[in-house]
Amino acid sequence: MAQEWYFAFEGTSKGPIDQDEFEDLIANGTIRSDTLVWQEGMEDWIPLAQARSVSRTPPQPPRRPVSDMQDPAREDANSFMGALKDGFARYVDFRTRSTRSQFWWWMVWMILLGGLTGGLDAALGFYDVGPINGLFSLATLLPSIAVAIRRLHDIGRTGWWVLLYFIPILGWIVLIIFYCQRSQDHANQWGNEPAH
């Protein structure tokens, strides 16, 4: 009898499912190569790509160090320019992780570009929210939410904590504390440890 599979999806464990259902979920893209999977006999959750490369003969696959695992983020994502590129490359990625530097460099970019677009609007005679700053804010809304959620995932918290933003002052303080915390140094349900 084939063993049943479990997989991580949007921060929760799903399963058990049989091999046929598992293959169907891979085929329709629900389970991707970076999705964490587990079945009886495995020591820990591992990405699907790694699980596929492990022979089914031994009961426990060898564990690779977390630092050797593939990261869905860009290699240069922890740099000033790389964080901007990564933020737009993963425009609506609410499932994986982002490091502290990826988050804070993204925020620096948003402040700088927001000030620049606001300045251009002021030069054109718009003193509230002008068209340039409005379009910039609209274009960066989703990636800003996505990077904030990925940062929460990186410290092992669900992305729903981002709703603290709607609690003035106290919620903002809690979120800033969360965003300043160190990355978890191991894979969690949202993926592998991002490269530092």
Q: Which two tokens stand for residue 145?
A: 């939410």
pLDDT (tens digit per residue) in 97-135: 999 999 999 999 999 999 999 999 999 998 888 999 999
Rounded to a whole number, what is the largest CA-CA distance in the chain?
72
Question: Residue 191 gets which letter from DSSP?
Answer: B
Give the CA angle between residues 96, 66, 38 to the nearest 5°.
Answer: 70
The amino acid occupying position 128 is D
What does the pLDDT look like over 17-74, one tens digit per residue?
A: 988 888 888 888 888 888 888 888 888 888 888 887 654 444 444 444 444 334 455 5
* Whether 30 contacts 9, CB under 8 Å: yes
